[in-house]
Each structure stands twice: as C-alpha cells, then as structure tokens.
C-alpha cells in the first residue's frame, strides 16, 4: 500500500512555516508500521493542485491532503478536487458546506471545516484542514483507523518512545553504538533519535511475523537501551518533565512553590500546564526586580549588596523564603542572567543559580550556558524541574 | 521559471526528523523573489528516486536535490541520476569521486561530498549533500547565484508581514474581500493568511517591473489593509504582543506587575521573553492557591467566600493588591478555570476574568472559552497583554 501526503499552501513553499503537519502524519503512520512513500507540497494554485491530485491518483493507494480547507479566499482545495475527479459539488445541509457528491464527511470536533473522504479510480483521498489541531483531531479519530483497515499482509509493528534529558544526542548515540548492526538497525529493532531541545527523544521500533515476536524484539531493545542510557531516560510517550514531576509530587503528597527571576514565570507556567497541578502546586513569585525579592521573598538587603542578586546565596534565600511564606514542602528558586545584556566579567551572560529547598535543607546548583534568551529560559526551567524530580525519586 | 526541491531520505518520510533543508532552500529562494513550485520527499529507493527525477524534469526548470543514504548514499543518488539521464559515470580525479559526464562539480567548503550540477532536456539539476551545513554552504555560494542568473525578465519583489489579534481569519478575509480581483490577488498585491493561534498573520507581496513600481503596489495594498482591518493589526514582521507592549511601557516610562491564577505564570514568562523587560516589568505572583491570593496579594477572605476565587471582584483585588505591593503603574490579574476539571454550572470550564489596574482605576473583562488547557492559557495571556496595550495606546 503506497501512501502519499500532499500539503497545499504558499506559506509552505515560501519557507514561511515549517510543515509540521507532514511530520505529524508521517510519524503517526510510521508508529502503525506504515511508511509514507511520497510527501509533496504545492502552491495555492488550482492547476498545480489538480496536477498533484492526478499524480497521486496514479502512484498511490491512499492520499492525505492537508491545507486549503479554511474559510479564506485562498482555500479552494475541495472545489478543485471535485472538478479534477468529475464530481458535482452539493450543499451539505448539516455541515453548511459544499461537498463533492458521493464524498464522506468527517465532522471536525475542534473547528468548522469538516474532513472529506473521496474515492477516485480506487484511490482513497482524505482532505483535511491545514490548521494543525483540527487536522490532528480529524486524522486520529477518523482517518487513521480507516487507513489501517485497508492495510494488507500485515507485519506486526511495535514501537516505543523514550524521553531523555541530561545527555546530548551524540552521547546517547555513542553509548548505544555497540548495539548497532548497521547505522540504525539493532538486530530487529530500529533506533531513531530526535532532538527536541533541551531533550532528546529515542524511538525504538520493531517488526515481527507475530505479535509475540515483535514484542520480544522490542523488549530486547528496551533492555539494552535502559542498561546503556537508563539514567538519562525520564519518561515515555507523551510524558513531560513537568507531568512526571506532578505524578511524583501527587503520589508522595508533597507541595511545591517556585520563586523565579531569570525564568520569569516559565517554571510555574510549565507546572500549571498539567491538569490537576492545583493539588500540589500552590503558586510562586516572579521576582524580576530586587525590591520584589526583598518584599515578597524576604531576601536580605545585605545578601543582595554583598553577593548580588545572581548568587547562590540569593537563590537559597529566595527558595527558603518562598517555601516558608507559601508553606510548601519544596520550593525551587532560580536567579541568573538570561542576556543578551546584563553580564559582567565575574558573572557572564548565561550564569544561573538553581536552589532547591526541601523539608530538610536547601541545595544550590550553578551553571553557565551560552544560549539565546528563550532557549536559556527553557533549559533552566527543565533543569530546575529535573533537580526536584531526581530528589523525589531518591526519597 | 518553475523550481522544484526534492528531498531524499527515509528519515524524512518516517517523520523522524523535520525537513529543515527544504525550509531553508524555500525561504532563501523566496527572499530573492522566487517561489518554489514543488517540494517532494521520497524514500531511499532507487526506482522511486528515478521516478521523482523524471517527474521533476517534466514539470520544472530548476531542480534542487538534497540527501540520500548518508555519506555513501550521496554517491548512490548520483549513480541513479546518471542512469536516469543516460550519462556515464567518470572518475573526477581532483574530487576523488565518480561524476556523471558533462556534470559541473562544486567544491564543498565544509565537507567532502561535492555538489553536482547536471543538465537534462534543458532542466538544471543541482545535487547537494543532505547535511544541513554542507548543503547551505554549497547552495549559498554556488547554486543560488546560478539560479538567479537564469531568472528572466526579472521582476522586483516586495513583501510585508502584518500581525493581527482580535479578528479571526474569516473576519479578516471578509473585511478584505472587496479588495480581491480573484481569490488571492488584489490588483498587483497578493494576500496570504496564516493562522498562528491566537493570532492571524497577513502577508502582502507585490511584484513590479521596477523597484518603484513594486514599492507603489505594496504601499497601495498596505493602505487598503490598514483602512479595512487596521484596528486588528498590532505589529509587523517579527514583533509580538509582548514586544509591542514592552515598547509602549518603555517609551511611556511606565512599570508593570502581574498576578496570575489560571495562566500560571505564562503572562510573566512572555513579558520576560523580551530583552530589556527588566526596565519596565517588576515581577508577579502566581496565585494558584487561595492562600497565596490572600497572603501575597491581600485578597479578602470575605471576597473569596462571597464571590469565589473566579470572579471579577477577586480579579480586581488581585490587580490592585499586586499594583500596590509591587509599586507599579499598572498591574494585570487573571483568574479563571483552565479545565478540564473545576467547572460548575454557574462558572463553567473556560470562565476567566482579566483585571487591569491603571494609575486611575481598575477595569475587569470577562470571557468564556472552550479550549484545551494550554490553548486557553495562551489565549488568555494574549488577551491580558492586549488589554494593556490598547490602554497604553489610548493615553
């Protein structure tokens, strides 16, 4: 079964945006053991779209088309598809849209433009909106199950995604190198890396004639992976550092507060992205100005004058002050210089102190990173969350 | 002149990596006024590669091919290209590589695999390594100038990006509809929309025979755009709501603090993404727990008991308390129910109150949105920042 993905939109061809839809679709299919054969992107031009549809009809069995279904003037994919495949457009009353006759309509759970399914010369075409959240919702719920039902001569496919923090891709790759037969295959398991700053994702995939065989191959790969780089793996699948932290805090019935200077609220924001976080996260202070550090966290004037705001002494006082005022079991505090301005010879841009107040004591970690402002914040927030995660794991 | 980019590699088709090469190439060409007509990605399979090359030879004038099977794989692609185009492979002594006869060889300044240029039926093919830094070095130095030299009847190209908030894509499109001659062209200006939740970006592009003409067309488009949807446009190019807010606060010498419940620190984090924000942003409180609202912001127990934490009364007290304690000119406060849990009949999931304390008074806005947790936070943070932006603009 040959699969093609066609993306429509000048914004892709002009390099204005990264085609994340094609990455999502390709990966979703791959996770089900289907590798996409062709990815094409074409402009918002009726004749070009027509040619792309006809080409796909000749070379593929399943074609997924995204983009050009929105409400604006440059969205006319369905109209062109109907003309290309000699279908009439008929008013679909329930969807308030023009739909090619004989087409299947998939209700969009998160937007207005429906998905459309069309058959042409035995080839299944699926038209989806280009807005990622709408495309994903429609694809996962309706389209993927239909495509899988068409799959013949099935090999059983298994895969698992691991999330690593604290080891770079090159280090992970090196640690696993004895495992490789050729560049990416390890026996019956395929290893894929993906950088997702500041994390690295490792995907193991296996194929087998039977469920049992595929499972066995995958488990062998997982054992090797955990033996070699287990300490860098913090989670699996859709987990995040903050969701794992949330699970640990919940299950240990502990509470947390945060005091942030250079991360400016990012740690609190990530922690509160997790549904249910109100049960363990009480809140925090974004202490950008020194006056806030003093008034809200009780940092001593003397500390600021002697050691400066970017110091382990200040970080520890911020963490202890936060912990005490919010009455939480743990408190994280960060203070640093995100840059690009504000650095000195002693404390260059990128200097950061992360303090963790626990029920027993307070510890401080210091780092220096040369990164742009936003990446610096992301990395520091991840490090802070990870320090607390490791502390909770050691309990 | 039609341009096609072909990317070769299973790692692209499996969704393992994002095809950044195609984004780089498309954007580099677009910045020179050349829009790519076709982007294709195919697997590491000789026959598929052959078909892709033949298809490109039929429909394009310039074809850029990147990637293959790794360092040795590039030779593989060249071998297939030679076969496909009926060229003999000959040893190129200086480059220690097999090169199709008649091919042009481009020295790789940062790696070993050279770039190869081939003509087939009047179509120019350029083969480049898949390693991004090698591809970029070869393309910028050698290939792009050659492609530009082929460009005939050169038209001058101009474009400008506008950022809109508060009007949906469909509304913007409707407001501009009288402007369209056909679906996307307005006289000599092309309008492109891009949804970038919760914003919509509008790109105007113009072409002219001379610099002056292209400029005139673009300015005409901009005038019309501003007349019709000017109130929704908050910025241009790389600006963001928070960078525009920062500019306004700086230039008016005003300071800001924030008190966040349901946005959990996201407003503060976005404000502090802007370099130099420490000059106008003092800090904030993430008041997730009611005790934090009372202890840090001075929200009255009576208010929480009478109206609840999710109320305009609480939002106003949060804003006023923050403003007073942080001694800032303005304070923003938000309280709401991000969901998916926590809703009631009176206050369903998605209810949110945004209060803005100014030097003169405090105003509160209320909304209800049905969105997932993360999108809810993003939209509410944007709304809060925008309310303050509008207030500063009206001063």
Shortest CA distance from A30: residue in chain B: B14
> Across the interface, do B273 and A377 touch by the CB < 8 Å criterion?
yes
Which residues are paired to B164 by β-bridges? Answer: B200, B233
| CATH for A27 | 3.40.980.10
Question: Does residue A307 register a pLDDT over 50?
Answer: yes
> Residues A350-366: what's their mean pLDDT?
97
* Same domain membership, residue A263 and residue A231: no
pLDDT digits (tens, 9 = 90+) for A93-124: 765 678 899 999 998 888 878 899 999 999 99
CA distances, A389 to each of A199, A229, A252, B133, B211 (Å): 15, 18, 12, 36, 58
- Average of pLDDT values for B43-54? 91
Find the residue in B nearest to A381 (Cα): B269
Residue numbers in B near A260 (CB within 8 A): 265, 268
Of B27, B51, B266, which is closest to A14 when you measure between CB atoms?
B27
My answer on whether B228 and B122 are in the same domain is no
Give the angle B331-B199-B245 at the CA atoms, nearest 5°.
30
Is residue B362 pLDDT above 90, yes or no?
Answer: yes
B215: left (phi over 0), alpha (psi -120 to 50) or beta: alpha
DSSP-assigned states of every residue in A312-361: HHHHHHHHHHHHHHHT-SEEEEEEE--SSS---SSS-TTEEEEEEE-SS-
Name residue B97's beta-bridge partners: B92
Q: What is the structure's pLDDT at A228?
A: 93
Smallest Cα distance from A269 to chain B, Å? 5
Out of A25, A26, A183, whose CB is closest to B70? A183
Q: Given a cut of 80, is residue B111 above it in pLDDT?
A: no
Residue A94: what pLDDT? 62
Could you give the count of Cα atoms lying within 13 Å of A33 in the half-sphere of its Cβ? 19
pTM (two decimals) = 0.81
Task: Output the pLDDT for position B383.
Answer: 98
What does the pLDDT read at residue A195? 74
**How distant is the Cα of B134 from the closest Cα of chain A, in angstroms?**
19
A71 and B169 within 8 Å at the Cβ level: the answer is yes
Q: Are A309 and A249 in contact (CB under 8 A)?
A: no
pLDDT bin (cut points 50, 70, 90) of residue B11 is: confident
Q: Who contacts A245 (Cβ-Cβ below 8 Å, separation ≥6)?
A: A271, A385, A388, A389, A392
Which tokens is B386 given?
Answer: 């925008």
User: Does B221 share its domain with B285?
Assistant: no
Whether residues B265 and B379 fall in one domain: yes
pLDDT level of residue B187 (50, 70, 90 thresholds): low
Cβ neighbours of B195 in A, within 8 Å: 70, 131
Statement to judge: residues A180 and A308 lie in one domain: no
* Residue B34, pLDDT score: 85
Which chain B residue has the Cα nearest residue A112?
Answer: B170
pLDDT in tens, A20-52: 899 999 989 987 878 899 999 998 888 999 999
pLDDT score, position B72: 44
Which of A218, A236, A254 lies at the terminal end of a domain, its last residue? Answer: A236
Q: In this model, does residue B70 exceed pLDDT 50? A: no
The H or E element spanning position A127 is strand A123-128
How close, in Å, is residue A216 to chain B by CA atoms?
Answer: 23
Domain identity same for A146 and A165: no
Best of A264, A274, A296, A336 to disrupt the B interface (most B CBs within 10 Å) is: A264
Between CA B302 and CA A195 the distance in angstroms is 50
Across the interface, whether the CB atoms of A286 and B258 are under 8 A apart is answered yes
Range of the domain at B378: 241-393
Residues in chain B with CB shorter than 8 Å from the CB of A243 are none
- Does a cis peptide bond (omega within 30 degrees of 0) precede residue B198? yes
Alpha carbon dihedral A269, A272, A275, A277, in 10-degree steps, equals 160
Q: How confident is the model at residue B337 (pLDDT cuts 50, 70, 90)?
A: very high
Distances (CA, A) of A54 to A58, A67, A81, B165, B247: 6, 17, 10, 38, 51
| Residues of A whose CB is below 8 A from B282 | 288-289, 291-292
Name the minimum distance, in Å, from the CA of A390 to any CA of chain B: 23
- The answer to whether residue B69 scores a pLDDT higher than 50 is no
Q: Which of A10, A26, A73 sits opposite B173 (nearest CB)?
A: A73
Q: Which residue in A2, A5, A12, A13 has the most chain B C-beta atoms within 10 A of its own C-beta, making it the best mutation to test that interface?
A: A13
Counting the structural domains of chain B, the total is 3
- The answer to whether the Cα torsion of B91, B97, B100, B104 is positive or negative is negative
- Burial track A1-36 (b if 16+ CB lie within 10 A, e otherwise): ebbbbbbbbbbbbbbbbebebbbbbbbbbbbebbeb
Distance CA A199, CA B64 (A): 32
Output the average pLDDT for chain A. 90
* Predicted confidence band of residue B183 (pLDDT cuts 50, 70, 90): very low
Q: Which among A92, A119, A150 is the end of a domain?
A: A150
Instruction: Specify the pLDDT at position A95.
Output: 56
Q: Of all residues in chain B, what percent carry a pLDDT higher than 70?
A: 94
The mean predicted confidence, pLDDT, of chain B is 90
What CATH number does residue B356 fall under?
A: 3.90.950.20
Interface test with B, best of A133, A283, A310 (most B CBs within 10 A): A283
- Contact assignment for A30 to B48 by CB distance below 8 Å: no
Residue A330 and residue A217 share a domain: no
Q: Which of A266, A291, A292 faces B269 most closely, judged by CB atoms?
A: A266
The structure tokens 């894509």 sit at B169
- In this complex, do A194 and B16 lie within 8 Å of one another by their Cβ atoms? yes
Q: Which is nearest to A298 in space by CA: A320, A324, A321, A316?
A: A321
Alpha carbons A130 and A104: distance in angstroms, whole number: 18
Together in a domain, A177 and A292: no
B220 and B342, same structural domain?
A: no
Is the Cβ pair A288, B269 closer than 8 Å? no
Cross-chain residue pair A14–B26, CB shorter than 8 Å: yes
Least trusted range by pLDDT, from B174-178, B312-316, B363-367: B174-178
Is B15 in Cβ contact with A29 (below 8 Å)? yes
Q: So what's the pLDDT on residue A183?
A: 44
pLDDT given for residue B71 in this prediction:
42
**Cβ distance of A39 and B40 shorter than 8 Å:** yes
Opening angle at CA A196, ends A195 and A202, nearest 5? 55
Q: Over the stretch A180-220, which tens digit does the pLDDT of each residue have?
A: 654 444 557 878 777 788 999 898 888 888 889 989 999 99
Residue B188 has pLDDT above 80, yes or no: no
B272 chain-A contacts, CB cut-off 8 A: 263-265, 286, 288, 338, 377
Beta bridge partners of B42: A38, B8
**Hey, are the CB atoms on A264 and B258 less than 8 Å from each other?**
no
Instruction: Give the pLDDT band (50/70/90) at residue B59.
Output: very high
Whether residues A362 and A221 share a domain: the answer is no
- Report residue B75's pLDDT band, with 50, 70 and 90 as the boundaries: low
pLDDT digits (tens, 9 = 90+) for B31-48: 777 889 999 999 888 899
A2 vs A123: CA distance, rounded Å: 10
A to B CB pairs, distance under 8 Å: 275
User: Of B150, B184, B217, at which residue does a domain stop?
Assistant: B150
Q: Tell me the percentage of chain A whose pLDDT exceeds 70.
A: 94
The per-residue pLDDT for range B278-321, each reduced to its tens digit, is: 999 999 999 999 999 999 999 999 999 999 999 999 999 999 99
Residues A117 and A11 occupy one common structural domain: yes
Q: Is residue B184 predicted with pLDDT exceeding 50?
A: no
- The residue that leads in pLDDT, B284 or B169, is B284
Top residue of A32, A39, A310 to mutate, by most chain B CBs within 10 Å, is: A39
Residues B28 and B128 in one domain: yes
For residue B204, the domain's CATH number is: 3.30.70.2860
Mutation for A interface: B228, B242, B282, B286, most A CBs within 10 A: B286
Report the residue from B184, B283, B291 with minimal CB separation from A74. Answer: B184
Please check the confidence at residue A2 and state whether its pLDDT lies above 80: yes
Segment B271-284 shows an average pLDDT of 97
Closest C-alpha among A53, A63, A49 to residue A2: A63
């Amino acid at each position: 079964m040959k699969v093609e993905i066609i993306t429509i939109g000048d914004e892709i061809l002009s390099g204005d945006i990264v085609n994340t839809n094609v990455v999502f679709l390709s990966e979703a299919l791959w996770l089900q053991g289907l590798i996409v054969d062709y990815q094409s992107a074409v402009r918002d031009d009726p004749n070009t779209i027509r040619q792309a549809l006809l080409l796909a009809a000749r070379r593929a069995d399943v074609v997924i088309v995204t983009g050009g279904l929105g409400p604006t003037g440059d969205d006319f994919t369905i109209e062109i598809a109907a003309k290309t495949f000699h279908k009439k457009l008929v008013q679909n009353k329930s969807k308030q849209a023009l739909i090619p006759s004989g087409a299947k309509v998939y209700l969009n759970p998160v937007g207005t433009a429906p998905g459309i399914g069309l058959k042409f010369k035995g080839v299944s075409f699926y038209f989806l909106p280009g807005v990622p959240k709408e495309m994903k919702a429609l694809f996962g719920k309706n389209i993927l199950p239909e495509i899988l039902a068409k799959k013949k001569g099935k090999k059983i496919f298994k895969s698992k995604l691991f999330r690593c923090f604290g080891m770079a891709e090159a280090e992970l790759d090196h640690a696993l190198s004895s495992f490789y037969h050729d560049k990416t295959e390890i026996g019956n398991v395929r290893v894929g890396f993906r950088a997702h700053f500041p994390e690295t994702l490792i995907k193991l995939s296996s194929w087998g004639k039977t469920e049992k065989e595929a499972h066995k191959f995958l488990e062998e790969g997982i054992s090797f992976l955990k033996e070699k780089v287990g300490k860098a793996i913090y989670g699996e699948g859709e987990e995040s550092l903050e969701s794992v932290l949330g699970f640990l805090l919940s299950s240990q019935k502990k509470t947390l507060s945060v005091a942030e200077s250079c991360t400016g609220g990012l740690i609190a924001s990530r922690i509160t992205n997790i549904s249910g976080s109100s049960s363990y996260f009480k809140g925090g202070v974004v202490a950008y100005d020194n006056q806030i550090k003093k008034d809200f966290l009780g940092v001593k004037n003397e500390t600021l004058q002697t050691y400066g705001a970017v110091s382990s002494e200040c970080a520890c006082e911020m963490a202890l002050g936060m912990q005490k005022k919010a009455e939480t079991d743990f408190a994280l505090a960060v203070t640093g210089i995100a840059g690009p301005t504000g650095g000195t010879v002693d404390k260059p841009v990128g200097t950061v102190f992360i303090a963790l107040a626990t029920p027993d004591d307070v510890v401080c970690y210091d780092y220096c990173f040369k990164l742009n402002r936003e990446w610096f914040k992301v990395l520091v927030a991840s490090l802070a969350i990870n320090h607390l995660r490791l502390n909770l794991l050691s309990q």
